[in-house]
Structure 1
Amino acid sequence: MEKNRLKLVLCWHMHQPEYRDLQTGVFKLPWTYLHVIKDYVDMAAHLEAVPNAKAVVNFAPILLEQIEEYAKQVSAYLQDRISITDPLLAALVAPSIPADLEDRMKLVKDCLRANRERQVDRYPAYKKLVKMAEWLEHNYDFLDYVNAQFICDILVWYHLAWMGETVKLSDNRIKHLIEKGSSYTLHDRIEILEIIGEQLSNVIYRYKALAKRGQIELSVTPYAHPIMPLLLDLNSTHEAMPNAPMPDLKAYPGGEERVVWHLEKGVQTFRRFFGFNPEGCWPSEGSVSELTLKILSDFGFKWAATGGSVLHNSLNLPENETPVGIHHPFKVKNTSIPCFFRDDGLSDLIGFEYSKWHGDDAVSDLIKHLEIIAANEPSDSVVSIIMDGENAWEYFPENGYYFLSALYKRLTLHPHIELMTFSECLKSKVEVKPLNRLVAGSWVYGTFSTWIGDTDKNRGWDMLGDVKWAFDKAISAKRLSEKQIKAAELQLAICEGSDWFWWFGDYNPGEAVSNFEKQFRLNLANLYRLLGEAPPSYLALSFTQGFGRPAMGGAMRPGTQS
């Protein structure tokens, strides 16, 4: 009798934090729209090109809202010339360049934030502009002599470099602009904005259509991407890191209530965009604990997923038996939700290694690993490859085009591998193995070390705790209107997001640390103002700096610590 095919789930997690200053509406960083035009549209196109392929795509609700806002703003500009609140996107179509030299230099420097090898050096015209811009950084006095054409051209090239490969291959307007190379006009720049607007307006619909066809399963993350186990119990940190230093804050006040708020708001937002309730939840950063899984189960989710290191840590406990084969969902005692565990090794090969390989060789290597698992593990095994859906591809040639094209085509044709979704795996009655105890952790190293446990991250928690006490006090005093409470709840949710804590710490790059800690302090200050209080003076001072050069710029981390 022929052995069942190995079940493989590819899960792509799409998420960006809230980059707007909610009080002014200004986008402080452009990463949401740049990842739409480069990664989210490419990922949809690769699935559309191979109708038999399957995947799980997870969206953070706060990302969906930002995509919607960008689409509205670009449409309003193109129709009625209403200004765009993202400074970089607004500069793309500005009729003149900034008069102030510092503003001019900031704009030029913003157009350097691209992968040097894959996005800049690929285009000689862009490479030349970047070299000139880098010279200007060291020869600031010459900015007076920089003409408008230089800034217009580098703005155009920046957006061309960030354009998705599937768009570059299929859109004749983009092909023409790349071939033109220089001397871009305002008409050219407005044409790029029109293309960007098309991608922003259509991208969510494309995923909705893929889900309707049954080709993908759409899942959700709590609304603003908080680390739920830490909101529920800061001391869950010690389950995987017994000696980790902790913040002065002993417990996050009202944490369970906030977790439920993020879940309710997240599902409500997801349903507004896609028209149905999701069956599965990828908890922010795959962060789980026994209490987190119980809450997800009570909330009605049919599955959750996390990192392989969490399973590894849990199986080291004496209460748990080591199973035959680990590629299975597990159900923790006293919960009713199956939890899938990421194959960290295979996922990290894609995230950190295969960008240096020829696409076909990388896919062959991945398939070889899968064939070994299929030959050596039980017949109903499920391999879960779970990855950031956006940050890896800029390190691949052509934004991962050849790797992803070959990946889907070859996996759908493989006689011993079957692409599935998590819900399909459960419906096909795969064995769900028991787990007596779970060690709380995330997909990064199986711990919470990325968000808590060092001086700067702990300081962030103490600052967040301070504003939460102020929030609770204002609510109990009943001095806020219903409208003010809703605005404060939303601002609090933004402050609770995981991304700010991710970037705190000197091992991260200086610019990223500065950008994110500034926005964290701004978010906290905005919340105090919404509560009718003056922000504490410490919010005027930077509390963390970065000096590191981590792999992939620090936007991704491997699942296991080497």
Structure 2
Amino acid sequence: MSDKLKLVLCWHMHQPEYRDMQSGEFKLPWTYLHVIKDYIDMAGHLESVPGAKAVVNFAPILLEQIEDYSNQVSSYLHDRIAIKDPLLAALVEPSVSSDVEKRLKLLRDCKKANRERQINRYPAFRKLIEMSDWILAHQDAVNYLNAQFVSDVLVWYHLIWMGESVKLNDERVRRLIEKGKNFTLHDRIEIVEIIGDLLSKVIYRYKSLARKGRIELSVTPYAHPIMPLMLEIQSAREAMPTASLPMLNDYPGGEQRVLWHLQRGVVTFRHFFGFEPKGCWPSEGSISERTLQILSDFGFKWTASGGNVLHNSLQASGMNAATTSLHHPFKLEDTNIACFFRDDGLSDLIGFEYSKWHADDAVADFIKHLENIADYEKRPAVVSIIMDGENAWEYFPDNGYHFLNALYRRLSEHPRIELTTFSECLEQGETPTLLPKLVAGSWVYGTFSTWIGDADKNYGWDMLGDVKTAFDKAVAEGRLSDQQLNMAEAQLAVCEGSDWFWWFGDYNPGEAVSDFEKQYRLNLSNLYRLLGEEPPGYLALAFTQGSGAPAMGGAMRRGNEI
């Protein structure tokens, strides 16, 4: 075994299901926007540094959405079949809509970007957005807008969402940025052609990296559910003893649903990559003793969670949390799965602090921390950096291009640090430490407070319990054909995703809360209709509002509560 400090960079690529599963329309554009900005750039960094290595985790419903977008764009370009995403479709409309409400919505939608790093970077777009701000505050003025203004806003919005590697290497993108104004229909269609190219190649690029041994690919349960809460809602009290919980005592048939998500997730992963994954990053790093037993029985070799989960578990096990290093894998008694724990402090430096630093200084600081760990550890250690692969980079200059390039390059050249993967650590003889007890929790604060315990989050769980009861009754009564059952199971899976609960609560931004709670109510309503039932009246009413201003817009959380 090498004496070098082993470092695993694990990037979790995830978007919830943004489609109306009945109409096929994408209600929010974040999947394709993150493809062209983040998933493309993240592949590019790994490709450009020969010594780079990482774990890349994909949520299966993200892979399916990328494939859908790619197929839709291809169908439009070849057969002029309409694209089912309003924002993307607006690019190829022969003329910009004259409808006042549609124009106002386009202006609002094209403001959804980081003001400092994306919008203000380009003076031409900044001026358009400043004018849009004024128009949205004086909405009668929209009647005086010409179509060219809206067209320019729309094109610029997609240009600022292009990844830095795309801006550097695609001559078409560079030419459009230089043009700067008076974009034509030809220009707008060219943007869609560029997006189509990126969508069609992105999954293959990761597959190719995996085949070359440059990355390890892993999976999350199909629709990103919080497995411990589906298995046992009371597990939330292991780390939050006084938490208020939903009226729902336990989620009906939770274990069967967890197994469904795991099985469907692996099947989807195999469809895209051609092999079965060895590891599973459970949604939000959420684990419990029962969750680890199920993952072990399912055949996964490794999983991972947050550092605070380990801290709580060491205390519950009577082990000294102050002197027991988190920089090694652990294994729960009676399981055969290794569990790695995130270094929350170092991961949060990347997620929340280094975007304010010069890239070289940030990387030097990060490496200094790693060198300190290597000096302190009594035996060769494994440091796990686990974070979203998309949400942090819009806060960095140039989409984190300089930081990530320097990070991979300097780490791959460092004489005392070895970039590796979780599976390689185990294959090279890293022995897990026995952990007698595990306290259920997630990578966020070591608890489930982001998804349960708040009144609005609890109400969301109760609504989910209602529709699951209706689902179980329809199945028991034999009211569904095989095709209807398959559709209902998939719709139920979407309802069970973690993201809806993440955004419920007034500490989140108002617009994001509204977007996600509308989508959640739509998902539940669609399921009732698939079951042949009228949705309950309460699903016609908004049940949660937001007015907060959390760090990074609320799309990320720190591992440690501050």
**Paired residue for 2:456?**
456
Aligned-partner SS, 2:464: helix
Instruction: Verify: 1:271 aligned to 2:270, yes or no.
Output: yes
Aligned-partner SS, 2:72: helix
Partner deviation per Cα, 1:310-356 (whole Å, 9 max, x = no partner): 00111122533556422000001121111000000000000000000
For the aligned residue pairs, the C-alpha RMSD in angstroms reads: 0.9
Query: How far apart in 2 are the matches of 1:351 and 1:337?
Result: 28
Structure 1 counterpart of 2:162, one-letter code: M
**Paired residue for 2:396?**
396
Query: How far apart in 2 are the matches of 1:509 and 1:259?
Result: 30
- Checking the alignment, whether the CA contact within 8 Å between 1:380 and 1:431 is kept in structure 2 is no
Aligned-partner SS, 1:244: coil
**Paired residue for 1:370?**
370
Query: How far apart in 2 are the matches of 1:93 and 1:61?
Result: 29
**Paired residue for 1:145?**
144
Instruction: Verify: 1:63 aligned to 2:77, yes or no.
Output: no
- Unaligned segments of structure 2, at least 5 residues: none
**Paired residue for 2:279?**
280
Structure 2 counterpart of 1:36, one-letter code: V
Structure 2 counterpart of 1:26, one-letter code: E
- Checking the alignment, whether the CA contact within 8 Å between 1:55 and 1:421 is kept in structure 2 is yes
**Paired residue for 1:500?**
500
- Checking the alignment, whether the CA contact within 8 Å between 1:450 and 1:502 is kept in structure 2 is yes
What aligned pairs does 1:429-468 form with structure 2 within 5 A after superposition? Answer: 429-468=429-468
What aligned pairs does 1:405-444 form with structure 2 within 5 A after superposition? Answer: 405-444=405-444
**Paired residue for 2:486?**
486
Q: Deviation of residue 98 (structure 1)?
A: 1.8
- Checking the alignment, whether the CA contact within 8 Å between 2:317 and 2:436 is kept in structure 1 is no
Aligned-partner SS, 2:7: strand
Structure 1 stretch displaced more, 313-322 or 291-300: 313-322
What aligned pairs does 1:162-241 form with structure 2 within 5 A after superposition? Answer: 162-241=161-240
Q: Deviation of residue 378 (structure 1)?
A: 2.7
- Unaligned segments of structure 1, at least 5 residues: none
Query: How far apart in 2 are the matches of 1:379 and 1:155?
Result: 55
- Checking the alignment, whether the CA contact within 8 Å between 2:317 and 2:437 is kept in structure 1 is no
Partner deviation per Cα, 1:162-217 (whole Å, 9 max, x = no partner): 00000000111101100000000111111111000000000000000000000000
Aligned-partner SS, 2:316: coil
What aligned pairs does 1:463-478 form with structure 2 within 5 A after superposition? Answer: 463-478=463-478
Query: How far apart in 1 are the matches of 2:236 and 2:228?
Result: 8
Q: After the TM superposition, which segments of 4 or more aligned residues of structure 1 sit over 4 Å from their partners? A: 321-324
Q: Deviation of residue 99 (structure 1)?
A: 2.6
Instruction: Verify: 1:354 aligned to 2:354, yes or no.
Output: yes
Partner deviation per Cα, 1:506-549 (whole Å, 9 max, x = no partner): 00000000000000000000000000000000000000000000
**Paired residue for 1:335?**
335
Query: How far apart in 1 are the matches of 2:524 and 2:457?
Result: 15
Query: How far apart in 2 are the matches of 1:300 and 1:140?
Result: 58
- Checking the alignment, whether the CA contact within 8 Å between 1:14 and 1:59 is kept in structure 2 is yes
Structure 2 counterpart of 1:492, one-letter code: L
Structure 2 counterpart of 1:444, one-letter code: V
Identity among equivalent pairs (%): 71
Query: How far apart in 1 are the matches of 2:379 and 2:210?
Result: 28
**Paired residue for 2:107?**
108
Structure 2 counterpart of 1:480, one-letter code: L
Aligned-partner SS, 2:447: coil
Query: How far apart in 1 are the matches of 2:191 and 2:529?
Result: 38
Query: How far apart in 2 are the matches of 1:94 and 1:107?
Result: 13
What aligned pairs does 1:520-539 form with structure 2 within 5 A after superposition? Answer: 520-539=520-539
Structure 2 counterpart of 1:75, one-letter code: S
Aligned residues: 561
**Paired residue for 1:551?**
551
Query: How far apart in 2 are the matches of 1:324 and 1:461?
Result: 36
Aligned-partner SS, 1:136: helix
- TM-score calculated relative to the size of structure 2: 0.99
**Paired residue for 1:8?**
7
Q: Deviation of residue 100 (structure 1)?
A: 1.9
**Paired residue for 2:288?**
289
